[in-house]
């Protein structure tokens, strides 16, 4: 059979074939419908001649024995690869002719294809083992048959394992090695050796050369293919399946078969895996998870609106996969207790289910008839161009030609017959576990197996995801136990149940892909998943809220990843109520700190408490229950309580080493956003530390009374550093706040802490105008009461002193111009620097405060809104102007707080989804996004005009 025909022999054969009516029909079918088979018939006519002379069975035997002889002892890789490819061409032609002429039934066709695959894989494995032995890596027990007791296990999965290989099928293999059966002498690891064998096995089978390929080969059905090498030890594989194996992998292993290499070792491995594959006792959750394999596919009983053209007869509705899942899901449930249900082949399994009383005979007949017909259609599709396809041609002449190739009398007859089978499969598939709710959602949501399901990717696209393929890949990785949260069987079963609702909830967010990515990041950090998945499963509203956080608030999503237990808190009745007053927060924080065993404990507790409270405030902002001024006040209260609650512990820790000093100690002054009680979720703390040094001690200051005494200047500098560290030092819980000390006297070059006299001296003599502007927002938040009162009075006196109003005007106008040069005012969504934005309003308020405080000291207020109202009451700012500025300020605060929570610093209006625009409009209390923009333009211009009337154009 290896020898081709001579030219005279070929001519004589062609004449004989053309003279035979059956031969003419065969040639007509080949050359009319299949470019691939036409080419093979011209290249390998001896195959057809052999079939006609001896029958296909004897020709197949001879082809395989010839291949065994040619490739079995070949040491040259390229010649071995060529022999395999030539044999594949001849087998492909043989099987096609036997199928087209009805010489073989379906089972004979698939068995022949599988038999050739077994032979080809084993010969390639034999070649690679022999090569490894020649290189000195392996000592083979039987050099004549290198695979014998070699320890190399090659499992055939899927249709190959079940001896049901289709015409142009790829093959799914798992490559393992049994260390106990291998005499390894190589310099690298034994795993490295077998990984190279696995890699080269794939290359020998699937690399295309001038004579074609053997099989497209896929190794992704091995345990956790995204993170494991191409070849695993049998111990590692057994450990994975026993601890992490999923129900879909149990289903896959039903069809597993040792096809090449050390067959005995392969059979031993599969025998050891029987308890995993065939579980005798299944709890409710496991049965639900098996049901979910079926329920993830969108099947509707009695629905017949199906197009034939373009239909995928494997993955589409009523297709081959539904027949296979119909059999396998029932095998998983009943096969552990009934060994008769353990056949790897589809049709025998369905018949066994009838014998066991699990399936009605008429249902089995319908499913088997449909399966056989659909497999025939599949083979014809693949014979056309030797492509792994299951999709019918589109409606028209191409589909009509295909019907003829299939042997149907007409396209209408083909359509009627196909729809009959597809409908029967869909009906019976939909009836399976009919009492269980669907997990398919709007369409297929299948995340089993080693490859993405095309229909699932399409469903994800229809749901609103831009990159459905990437999302499906990530979800499949979840099911392999890649993350700690999905390593337990129960967690994966719950996740399967949760998946449709989770994906639907994330799809309803403004940015589904970003929301999904954040959820994946969140999931990757969880130490366990059962509790969370159970919580989400039992609380659909909580699932929606989590999706809202993932889709709309990156900062909150990050915090939730650090503290998943916050979801429990969200379920409490009080969570969405208005935040408690500052005194209640202080009592709560004090109680929390009392639980700490030491100072480090208390630092962690402080961080957890503050971040949890910030999370709650952020969620209230996200839900529009809290915004603008109230949100700023709440976040400022949280910061003040945290600073005040930690201070006694910081000082006690410090005094243990350095003792105390006489006087009223250290006071903390807040400026900026904290000073004005206008903090957002991203605000840092602008702080200044002032200490008390009585006048009679300045000349000869005392030292502290601790084991390591310090003079006041060093004592308070170090104590201030300890306070700062307590706030911004990273612990296991992260930082509490970032602290900015640049507003202290002389900025970064000045002392960390100043005496009150020194501070007032600097502010009176050396301070710039901008430093006095910053002081308008000063608020003493911590200190001995009489010292606090003295500082506040001193600050008010300092800010109320007469000043050169022309210089004040010139300094502030010049400063605004310089800010405008660095941050142009024409950016609409730059809330801080835009025309009529926060800087314009704050600069104007501070200018008017400093200008009119000598006559009206009551206008000094740390909060900008309060200052504007006081300026109006004092008659130095028209009431209408004050109202406009206060309205503008409130709008900017609402928008800034919401945008920093949801979008961050970068704002690209053109890229905003409609959902985000609606949320921003709601934050701005506008009916829609266009209305919000119109109002922003209107009030921004009005605020800018008022600013320019007093300070000129920037």
DSSP state letter for 740: E
Tokens representing 196?
């190279």
In which residue are the tokens 């091995």 written? Answer: 222
- Domain range list for the chain: 1-104, 140-277, 280-297+304-436, 632-799, 802-954
**Identical fold at 1-104 and 140-277?**
no
The one-character DSSP state at 706 is: S
DSSP 92-130: HHHHHHHHHTTSS-HHHHHHHHHHHHHHHHHHHHHHHHH
Over residues 719-750, the pLDDT tens digits come to: 999 999 999 999 888 899 999 999 888 888 88
Say which CATH class 802-954 falls into. Answer: mainly alpha
Q: Each residue of 379-400: pLDDT tens digit?
A: 999 999 999 999 999 999 999 9
Over 50: is that where the pLDDT of 906 sits?
Answer: yes
C-alpha Rg value of the chain to the nearest Å:
39
d(CA 288, CA 478): 18
Q: What is the mean pLDDT of the chain?
A: 90
Q: 47 near 94, Cβ under 8 Å?
A: yes
Indicate yes or no: pTM above 0.75. Answer: no
Spatial CA neighbour of 290 closest among 497, 487, 445, 444: 497
End-to-end CA gap in the chain = 93
d(CA 642, CA 781): 11
Q: Taking the CA of residue 557 as centre, how many other CA atoms within 13 Å lie in the half-sphere pointing to its CB? A: 24
According to CATH, what is the number of the domain 280-297+304-436? Answer: 1.20.120.330
Pairing of strands 138-139, 183-184: antiparallel
DSSP 129-188: HHHHHHTTSEE-S-TTSTTTT--EEEEE-HHHHTT---TT--EEEEEEE-GGG-EE--SS
Distance from C-alpha of 811 to C-alpha of 851, rounded to nearest angstrom: 12
Does domain 140-277 bear CATH number 3.30.460.10?
A: yes
At a CB cut-off of 8 Å and minimum separation 6, what does 640 contact?
A: 582, 670, 674, 781, 782
The pair phi, psi for residue 755, each rounded to 5°, is: -70, 155
Q: Residue 617 CB: number of other CB atoms within 10 A? A: 26
Of 806, 739, 788, 832, which is closest to residue 952 (Cα–Cα)? 806
CATH placement of domain 1-104: 1.10.4050
pLDDT value for 758? 92
Higher-pLDDT residue of 696 and 635 is 635
Range of lowest pLDDT (70-84, 278-292, 398-412, 802-816): 278-292
pLDDT at 719: 96
Classify each residue of 149-175 as buried b or exposed e, where b means 16 or more C-beta atoms within 10 Å of its C-beta: bbbbbbbbbbbbbbbbbbbbbbbbbbb
* Paired tokens of 746: 């002389």
What pLDDT is recorded for position 132?
A: 95
Question: Binning pLDDT at 50, 70 and 90, where does residue 910 land?
Answer: confident
Question: For 296, which DSSP code?
Answer: T
- What does 646-666 look like in DSSP terms, one character per residue? HHHHHHHHHHHHH---SSS-E
Virtual torsion, Cα 447, 452, 453, 455, nearest 10 deg: 110
Q: Residue 33, Cβ neighbours under 10 Å: how many? A: 18
Q: Write down the residue that tokens 């009919």 correspond to.
A: 434
Residue 299's pLDDT is what? 47
Does residue 437 surpass a pLDDT of 80?
A: no
Q: Collect all residues with Cβ–Cβ distance below 8 Å to 795 and sequence separation of at least 6.
A: 775, 778
Tokens of 66: 């010839």
Characterize the bridge pairing of strands 152-156 and 257-261: antiparallel
The CATH fold of domain 632-799? Beta Polymerase; domain 2 (3.30.460)
Q: How far apart are CA 249 and CA 241, in angstroms?
A: 8
Position 304 scores a pLDDT of 47
Residue 448 confidence (pLDDT) = 73
Q: Position of tokens 């929390």? A: 592
pLDDT band at 487 (very low <50, low <70, confident <90, very high): confident
């Amino acid at each position: 059979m290896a020898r081709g025909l001579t030219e005279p022999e070929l001519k004589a054969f062609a004449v004989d074939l053309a003279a035979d009516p059956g031969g003419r029909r065969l040639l007509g079918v080949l050359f009319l419908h299949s470019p691939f088979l036409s080419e093979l018939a011209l290249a390998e006519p001896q195959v057809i001649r052999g079939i006609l002379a001896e029958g296909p069975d004897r020709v197949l035997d001879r082809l395989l024995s010839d291949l065994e002889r040619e490739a079995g002892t070949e040491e040259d890789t390229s010649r071995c690869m060529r022999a395999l490819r030539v044999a594949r061409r001849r087998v492909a032609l043989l099987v096609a002719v036997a199928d087209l002429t009805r010489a073989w039934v379906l089972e004979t066709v698939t068995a022949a294809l599988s038999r050739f695959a077994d032979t080809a894989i084993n010969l390639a494995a034999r070649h690679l083992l022999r090569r490894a032995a020649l290189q000195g890596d392996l000592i083979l027990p039987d050099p004549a048959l290198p695979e014998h007791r070699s320890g190399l296990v090659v499992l055939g999965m899927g249709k190959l394992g079940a001896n049901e290989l289709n015409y142009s099928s790829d093959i799914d293999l798992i490559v393992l090695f049994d260390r106990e059966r291998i005499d390894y002498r190589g310099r690298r690891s034994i795993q490295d050796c077998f990984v190279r064998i696995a890699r080269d096995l794939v290359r020998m089978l699937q690399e295309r050369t001038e004579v074609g390929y053997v099989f497209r080969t896929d190794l992704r059905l091995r345990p956790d293919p995204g993170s494991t090498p191409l070849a695993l030890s049998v111990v590692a594989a057994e450990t994975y399946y026993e601890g992490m194996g999923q129900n879909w992998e149990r289903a896959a292993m039903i069809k597993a078969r040792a096809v090449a290499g050390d067959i005995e070792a392969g059979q031993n491995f599969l025998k050891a895996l029987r308890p995993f594959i065939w579980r005798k006792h299944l709890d409710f959750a496991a049965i639900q998870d098996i049901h979910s394999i079926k329920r993830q596919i969108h099947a509707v009983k009695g629905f017949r609106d199906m197009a034939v053209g373009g239909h995928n007869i494997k993955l589409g509705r009523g297709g081959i996969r539904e027949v296979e899942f119909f059999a396998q899901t029932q095998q998983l449930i009943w096969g552990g207790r009934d060994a008769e249900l353990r056949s790897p082949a589809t049709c025998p399994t369905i018949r066994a289910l009838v014998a066991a009383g699990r399936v009605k005979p008429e249902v089995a007949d319908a499913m088997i008839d449909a399966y056989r017909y659909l497999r025939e259609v599949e083979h014809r599709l693949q014979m056309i161009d030797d492509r792994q396809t299951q999709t019918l041609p589109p409606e028209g002449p191409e589909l009509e030609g295909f019907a003829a190739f299939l042997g149907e009398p007409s396209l209408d007859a083909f359509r009627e017959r196909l729809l009959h089978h597809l409908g029967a499969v869909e009906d019976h598939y939909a009836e399976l576990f009919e009492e269980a709710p669907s997990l398919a959602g709007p369409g297929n949501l299948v995340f089993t197996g080693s490859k993405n399901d095309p229909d699932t990717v399409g469903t994800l696209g229809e749901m609103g995801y831009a990159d459905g393929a990437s999302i499906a890949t990530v979800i499949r990785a979840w099911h392999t136990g890649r993350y700690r949260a999905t390593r337990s069987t129960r967690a994966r079963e719950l996740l399967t149940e949760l998946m449709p609702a989770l994906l639907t909830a994330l799809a309803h967010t403004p940015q589904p892909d970003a929301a999904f990515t954040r959820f994946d990041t969140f999931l990757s950090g969880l130490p366990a998943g059962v509790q969370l998945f159970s919580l989400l499963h039992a609380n659909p509203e909580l699932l929606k809220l989590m999706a809202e956080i993932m889709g709309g608030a990156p900062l909150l999503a990050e915090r939730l990843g650090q503290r998943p237990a916050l979801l429990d808190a969200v379920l409490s009745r009080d969570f969405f109520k208005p935040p408690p007053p500052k005194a209640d927060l202080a009592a709560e924080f004090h109680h929390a700190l009392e639980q700490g065993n030491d100072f480090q404990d208390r630092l962690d507790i402080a961080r957890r408490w503050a971040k949890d409270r910030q999370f709650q405030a952020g969620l209230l902002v996200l839900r529009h229950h809290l915004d603008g001024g109230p949100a700023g006040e709440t976040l400022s209260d949280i910061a003040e309580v945290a600073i005040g609650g930690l201070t006694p512990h910081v000082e006690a820790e410090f005094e243990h080493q350095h003792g105390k000093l006489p006087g009223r100690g250290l006071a903390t002054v807040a400026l900026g956003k904290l000073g004005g009680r206008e903090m957002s979720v991203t605000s840092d703390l602008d702080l200044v530390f002032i200490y008390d040094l009585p006048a009679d001690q300045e000349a000869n200051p005392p030292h502290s009374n601790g084991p390591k005494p310090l003079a006041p200047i060093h004592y308070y500098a170090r104590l201030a550093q300890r306070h700062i560290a307590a706030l911004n030092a990273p612990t296991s819980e992260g930082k509490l706040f970032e602290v900015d000390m640049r507003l202290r006297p002389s900025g970064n070059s000045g002392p960390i802490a100043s005496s009150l006299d020194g501070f007032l001296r600097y502010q009176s003599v050396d301070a710039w105008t901008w430093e006095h502007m910053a002081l308008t927002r000063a608020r003493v938040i911590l200190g001995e009461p009489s010292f606090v009162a003295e500082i506040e009075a001193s600050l008010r006196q300092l800010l109320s002193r007469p000043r050169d109003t022309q210089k004040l005007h010139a300094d502030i106008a010049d400063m605004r111009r310089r800010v405008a040069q660095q941050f142009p005012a024409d950016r609409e969504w730059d809330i801080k620097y835009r025309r009529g934005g926060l800087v314009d309003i704050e600069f104007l308020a501070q200018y008017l405060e400093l200008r009119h405080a000598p006559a009206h000291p009551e206008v000094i207020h740390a909060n900008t809104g309060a200052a504007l109202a006081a300026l109006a009451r004092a008659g130095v700012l028209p009431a209408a102007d004050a109202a406009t500025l206060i309205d503008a300020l409130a709008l900017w605060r609402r928008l800034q707080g919401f945008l920093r929570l949801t979008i961050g610093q970068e704002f690209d209006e053109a890229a905003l989804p409609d959902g985000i625009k609606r949320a921003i409009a709601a934050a701005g209390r506008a009916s829609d996004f266009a209305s919000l923009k119109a109002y922003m333009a209107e009030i921004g211009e009005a605020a800018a005009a008022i600013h320019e009337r007093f300070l000129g154009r920037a």
